[in-house]
């Protein structure tokens, strides 16, 4: 019975908070799971630019407020996500009224207003923010990802974003967040960025490692190596968007209506080993957040293969704990 299952967050309370990414809807539909098993929540979309600031003259906080209020009412930590990103940012942000490109000064003013408005609103409620998301390039010779933020403002848009957030809430912990964080080439770029920001005394307080992994990759040894290298920077780390897909990147099947026993076995083994690593790095890892609560509500459905279902979390479609869950809590 679900009521007899040990609480996930209580099992880890001496290590680090356990979080879940939520929506304004899932705090209702997954309420029981959230209250029992998680001590931290992250809004998956409700605090992104396009959600709270759809037009230049209007902010809308109904859904983001509902998540912040849920966290406060239930004694949960709230992670703010995300202030500056190249996706889910309205086109008007980068344009003047006539449709021509915005100037550097105009875009900086808009970025400052957005960050100050959002961070100030949740000051004292959001204990940390993912200030900047996915700003380094994945492959090739480029260091920074070519985005409109970079093209219009220049590379200092990054330090400006952190400074604006710090000005709005000096007590908030500010993170740089990225994916493919284990890949050696990408890892070098993330470490370069964080090192350069710290050398300039930019107020960056931690690194968010998304953790969108699969049962096949990356290997536990590769994750261990990456964690060791990030830990050497001397900043707190958080696993911010953890899920473990049952598909390899090359597996394009869309006809699987239920995971195979082998998939569930491999997933349980992977989750067990991953959390063993996290516990080993408990001196530097200050939070672990799963990107979702149960398999019925996951961004992995339809991504990266449209029309495909996935089963990447610790609770199944019926909100029951999976073998992966028991491997994580029984240590």
Q: Taking a C-beta distance cutoff of 8 angstroms, is the pair 234, 304 a contact? A: no
Q: Which of 46, 95, 113, 134 is catalytic?
A: 134
What sign for the dihedral angle of Cα 302, 308, 313, 316?
positive
Q: What is the pLDDT of residue 16?
A: 98
Does the pLDDT at position 250 exceed 80? no
Query: How far is Cα 243 from Cα 170, in angstroms, rounded to an integer?
Result: 31
pLDDT tens across 74-85, in order? 999 999 999 999
Domain boundaries, the chain: 2-329
Q: How does residue 306 score in pLDDT terms, banded at 50, 70 and 90?
A: confident
Q: Which of 13, 46, 241, 262 is catalytic?
A: 241
SS3 (DSSP) at 129: strand
pLDDT tens across 14-57, in order? 999 999 999 999 999 999 999 999 999 999 999 999 999 999 99
CATH class for the domain made up of 2-329: alpha beta
Does the pLDDT at position 267 exceed 50? yes
Q: What is the pLDDT of residue 28?
A: 98
- For residue 69, the 8-state DSSP code is H
Q: What is the pLDDT of residue 292?
A: 98
Catalytic (active site) residue 276: no
Does the pLDDT at position 233 exceed 60? yes
């Amino acid at each position: 019975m679900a009521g007899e299952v040990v609480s996930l967050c209580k099992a880890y309370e001496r290590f680090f908070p356990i979080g879940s990414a939520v929506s304004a809807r899932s705090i209702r539909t997954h309420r029981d799971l959230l209250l029992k098993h998680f001590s931290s929540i992250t809004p998956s979309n409700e605090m992104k630019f396009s959600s709270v600031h759809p037009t230049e003259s209007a902010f809308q906080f109904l859904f983001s407020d509902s998540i912040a209020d849920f966290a406060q009412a239930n004694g949960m930590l709230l992670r703010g996500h995300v202030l500056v990103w190249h996706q889910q940012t309205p086109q008007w942000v980068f344009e003047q009224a006539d449709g021509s490109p915005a100037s550097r000064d105009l875009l900086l003013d808009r970025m400052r207003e957005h960050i100050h408005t959002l961070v100030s609103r949740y000051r004292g409620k959001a204990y940390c923010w993912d200030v900047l998301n996915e700003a380094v390039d994945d492959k090739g010779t480029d260091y920074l990802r070519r985005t409109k933020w970079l093209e219009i403002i220049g590379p200092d848009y990054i330090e400006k974003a952190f400074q604006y957030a710090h000005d709005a809430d000096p007590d908030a912990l500010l993170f740089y967040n990225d994916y493919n964080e284990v890949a050696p080439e990408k890892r070098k770029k993330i470490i370069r960025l964080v090192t350069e920001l710290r050398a300039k005394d930019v107020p960056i307080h931690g690194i968010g490692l998304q953790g969108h992994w699969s049962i096949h990759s990356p290997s536990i040894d590769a994750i261990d190596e990456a964690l060791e290298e990030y830990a050497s920077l001397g900043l707190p780390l958080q696993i911010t968007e953890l899920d473990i897909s049952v598909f390899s990147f090359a597996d394009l099947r869309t006809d699987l209506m239920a995971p195979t026993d082998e998939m569930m076995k491999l997933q349980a083994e992977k989750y067990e080993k991953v959390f063993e690593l996290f516990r080993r790095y408990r001196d530097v890892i200050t939070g672990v957040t799963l990107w979702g609560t149960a398999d019925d509500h996951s961004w992995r459905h339809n991504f990266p293969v449209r029309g495909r279902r996935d089963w990447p979390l610790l609770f199944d479609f019926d909100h029951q704990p999976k073998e992966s869950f028991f491997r994580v809590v029984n240590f």
